Amino acid sequence: MDLWRILRREALRNMQPLLLLAVLAAALNLALLTSLNDALLVLDDPEGLQRLLIVFLLSAFLWRIAQGWMMNAASKRMQAALATLRVDLLRRAVAADLPDAMAVGSSRLAQVAGAELQMLAQAVPTLVISFQSVAAILLCLLYLSTLSGAAVLIVLGFLVVGGILIGRSVIRLELMSETIHEAEGALSERSDHILQTLRECKLNRRRAANALADATSCAESLRKERHRFGAEYSHYFTISELTYYAALAGIIFLLPAVTDTDIATVILAGHAAAFIAYPVITIVASYPSYISAETAARSYLAVEAELKAAPQAVVPGRGSGMDDPFSTIALEGATFRHAGRDGTGSFTVGPVDMTVERGSVVFITGHNGAGKSTLIHMLLGLYPIQRGSLSVDGVTVGPDGLATHRDRFAVVFSDSHVTRQLYGATTLDDGFAEELLDLLEMSDKVAIDGRAFTTVDLSQGQKKRLALIAALLERKPVLVLDEWAADQSPYFRRKFYREIIPWMKARGITVIAVTHDDAYFDAADVQLQVDRGGIRQFIATVPAGGIPAPDLLPVSS
């Protein structure tokens, strides 16, 4: 009952008014039935018929109002629950440890927060209508018992036998729904691959053909599963209808045969049983959407559990600025291990010792896969230090200090995503943004409009320049860049190392940059060379354009 667990938490809080409306609508259903049944008994009395017609019309009118209110309230609940659950999931993703959030993956998070939550929210009105239907069935059975106790026993007998058959079918449907969910995930992954590599597919027909064949095979599996589900659903629906017809036939054929019930009562009982048809069919027909919602709820709860974090409100606070009084940030004997998949492919950075002095320029260099990005994630407090410590001015950064520590940094990651909105910027009206646009030679392409860039439809290298401008507008004391210059032209690369980095240093900004540009290693005060998860440290004393000697002052490994 994963759906129930979520709804109890979100949409079903203060459900009493909604459920009362459902019971009221069911009671009005019963009033419709009893007015019709009573009319059957006074067919030769025009006055009585007129009175019952008024009762019938009034009940129908009130039923329409109660039903409308109920559906409106359910829909409001549904929308509110959807909004809360979506934002909660994002809050959890932001609050989670980065490795946990990365293990869930952005496409799975997007799928759960999008289509699956939609499915789940749609179950709220379905559940309310089902509740109303159950109430209507119970009230009709109660009314039936006032006509004939034997009739109720016959109906219940058929419902129990039918219920057992229906229950077996429901179990099969639930299993199939799981398989469909997996098949949908596989197809959406293949579709994503193709849409992400449209250019490559156009250039390589073998690649396109193989990718499409893979997607076709996934689509075919999904079709087969859906077909099996459809066949089982029609079986389930047929058994449900047959159960209902059998109960009706039980009243017409069995009731007069085994009891001495008079004909009028048999007719009234049969009519009452027929009245149950609509709520029964409503429940039966809504079951697939309930199963899908249950599967979506399971998936939502699984992602929540994997994120291992409560949804936390993010309070911007004062934030760190250039007046943050720290002097050093250090890792001491610090270790982080990437778990890898299925116990293979794990990689450990550390134990490492490094100290970043305030105001210095630190380059982190090394081969691909050596552990440079992992190291800066440790320094940023994004990867948990599993052994050793991360400290600022000799004070260890504990779990409570992580948010404050992370606030010191502005970062441009190697795969940074630049947005038009400058969410992280401080003031924008003191001319600093324009100065940066000039410095990064972007003034003729982009301007600042309100709190956003006028455009981000730019080349790769230009987008990186905007990302750097956005980071500098955060006015943080430490700037971390992961291979920032990799997609800049030789001209701009030179400008970056020879003009922009000194410009940042002159402003007191501490710069930590991952770089492969060995021609400019001398632009750093300190070069940390990472090799297979360990560090060697060099002090860059070689003049501009030179390469520091690799055996210069090794400090730790």
Complete DSSP assignment for 302-343: HHHHHHT----PPP--S---TT----EEEEEEEEEEE--BTT
Output the smallest distance, CB 535 to ligand ATP, in A: 12
Closest Cα partner for 484 from 399, 396, 556, 416?
416
Task: Supply the minimum distance, in Å, between the C-beta of residue 307 and ligand ATP.
Answer: 16
* CA neighbor of 453 nearest in space, from 469, 472, 431, 476: 469
Q: Which stretch binds ligand ATP (CB under 6 A): 30-38, 182-190, 361-369, 546-554?
A: 361-369
- For ligand ATP, give the closer residue by CB, 293 or 331: 331
> Which range touches ligand ATP (CB under 6 A), out of 79-87, 108-116, 219-227, 368-376?
368-376
- For 178-224, the DSSP string reads HHHHHHHHHHHHHHHHHHHTHHHHHH-HHHHHHHHHHHHHHHHHHHH
| Residue whose CB is less far from ligand ATP, 64 or 532 | 532
Q: Which is nearer to ligand ATP, 369 or 394 (CB)?
A: 369
Q: How far apart are CA 423 and CA 416, in angstroms?
A: 14
| Residue range at the interface with ligand ATP (CB under 6 A); choices 46-54, 292-300, 364-372, 399-407 | 364-372
β-bridge partners, 355 = 330
Calculate the alpha carbon distances from 547 to 5, 82, 370, 483, 539 in Å.
62, 57, 20, 18, 11
Q: Is 105 in the site for ligand ATP (CB under 6 A)?
A: no
Q: In whole angstroms, give the CA distance from residue 481 to residue 464.
A: 10
Q: Which of 77, 92, 190, 372 binds ligand ATP (CB under 6 A)?
A: 372
Check residue 68 for interaction with ligand ATP (CB under 6 A).
Answer: no
| The binder of ligand ATP chosen from 162, 371, 534, 548 (CB under 6 A) | 371
Q: Which is nearer to ligand ATP, 102 or 160 (CB)?
A: 102
**Among 14, 344, 368, 427, which residue interacts with ligand ATP (rule: CB under 6 A)?**
368
Nearest distance from residue 109's CB to ligand ATP, in Å? 15
- Of these, 162, 279, 311, 366, which contacts ligand ATP (CB under 6 A)? 366
The tokens for 447 are: 């301007």
What character string, x for contact with ligand ATP (CB under 6 A) and - otherwise, covers 334-353? Answer: ----x-x------x------
Amino acid 366 reads: G
Rounded to 5°, the CA angle 536-328-401 comes to: 110
Residue 20 or 98: the one with the smaller Cβ distance to ligand ATP is 98
CA 556 vs. chain centroid, Å, equals 43
Binding status of residue 14 toward ligand ATP by CB under 6 A: no
Name residues contacting ligand ATP, limited to 384-443 (CB under 6 A): none
Q: Tell me the C-alpha distance between 324 and 327, whole Å.
A: 9
**How many angstroms separate the CA atoms of 160 and 162, rounded?**
5
CA 185 to chain CA centroid, Å, is: 14
Tokens 């490094």 sit on residue: 354
Regarding 554 and contact with ligand ATP (CB under 6 A), the answer is: no
Q: How far is the CB of 415 from ligand ATP (least distance, A)?
A: 10
Residue 513 CB, shortest distance to ligand ATP, in Å, is 12
16 is a site residue for ligand ATP (CB under 6 A):
no
Q: Does position 98 bind ligand ATP by CB under 6 A?
A: no
How much helix, strand and coil, in percent to the nearest 5, is found in the chain? 65, 10, 25
Q: Tell me the pairing of strands 534-539 and 526-531.
A: antiparallel
Should residue 529 be labelled a site residue for ligand ATP when binding is judged by CB under 6 A? Answer: no
For ligand ATP, the binding residues (CB under 6 A) are: 102, 338, 340, 347, 366, 368-374
